[in-house]
Structure 1
Amino acid sequence: MPDDATQIRILITRWADAVHRGDLDGVLADHAEDLVMYDVPAPHHGIHGLAAYRAAWPPFFAWQASGACFDIETLDVTAGEDVAYAHALLRCATPGELAAHPTLRLRLTFGLRKEDGRWLVAHEHHSFPHD
């Protein structure tokens, strides 16, 4: 079995691939029921719980279907025995947006915990830098 950091890297890579495909079940996999997500769009107090997380994705999938990318460029993972965090930079934009702002990257941070030997995402934070 791969070490914890490798397991988490695989989990996040699968998640990003599911986001890119618009696969909601794949996006939800490996997320805790009590997940908290702070996202780019409102609500600014965050999204709490797996049901609210599920409801947040369809508008993004509709936007992404216009030809946007969602590609991991960097991914760093630090894993302890039962908690871990990871941070990543992604290309997340339409071709036109990338042409206008070629260095624009989405910043992602994940907080994970191990439950019954399985890593689950308990926290996500998505942001773009302010220019």
Structure 2
Amino acid sequence: MNQDEQQIRALIERWAAAVHAGDLDGVLADHTADIVMYDVPPPYEGVRGLDAYRETWPPFFTWQAQGASFTIGSLDVVAGDDVAYAHALLRCGTPEDLAERPAVRLRLTVGLRKEQGRWSVAHEHHSFPDDTP
């Protein structure tokens, strides 16, 4: 794993730890001002910009405070000179959710840009598989 991939892996691990801790400043760190995020809940057209991204997190933190987990199970990173992407599978759910459907994972895809020698998240996509009959 090269140095850029190591830096990105550490960035995403810090972000996931901040999400799990309900640390909004930590979640926002290392994101671009023009971030675009597609999330599990609406709005279906996603959110654009750091202010809109910031507004999505308090409801998640409220839900998570009821005992839900948010932990990375696997993480793969590919980095070029100034753009990179990563994809991960996370255990995200309440103990009841995870017991009822232990194989289900939150899918995370992240797009990053390197500007002035520093990696920042420019895109996030969160999804769960739709396994309804």
Interval of TM-score (by shorter of Structure 1 and Structure 2): over 0.9
What amino acid is the match of 2:67?
G
**2:29 — aligned with what?**
29
Q: CA deviation at 1:61?
A: 0.1
Name the structure 1 match of 2:98: 98
- For structure 2, the residue ranges without an aligned partner over 5 or more in a row are none
After the TM superposition, which parts of structure 1 deviate over 6 Å for at least 4 consecutive aligned residues? Answer: none
* Whole-Å separation in 1 of the counterparts to 2:104 and 2:53: 25
Alignment correspondent of 2:55: 55
Matched position secondary structure for 2:90:
strand
TM-score (norm 2): 0.97
Which amino acid in 2 is paired with 1:106?
L
Query: Residue type matched to 1:47 in 2?
Result: V
Mapping of residues 115-126 of structure 1, within 5 Å? 115-126=115-126
Aligned equivalents of 1:122, 1:46: Cα separation in 2: 13
TM-score, structure 1 normalization: 0.98
CA RMSD, Structure 1 to Structure 2 (Å): 0.7
Partner Cα separation in structure 2 for residue 23 and residue 115 of structure 1: 25
SS at match of 2:130: coil
Deviation at 1:116, TM superposition (A): 0.5
3-state SS of paired residue (1:54): helix
User: In the TM superposition, what is the alpha-carbon distance from 1:14 to its structure 2 partner?
Assistant: 0.1
Tell me which residue corresponds to 2:38.
38
1:70 alignment partner, SS class: strand
Offset at 1:55?
A: 0.5
| Counterpart code for 1:44 | Y
Q: CA deviation at 1:120?
A: 0.3
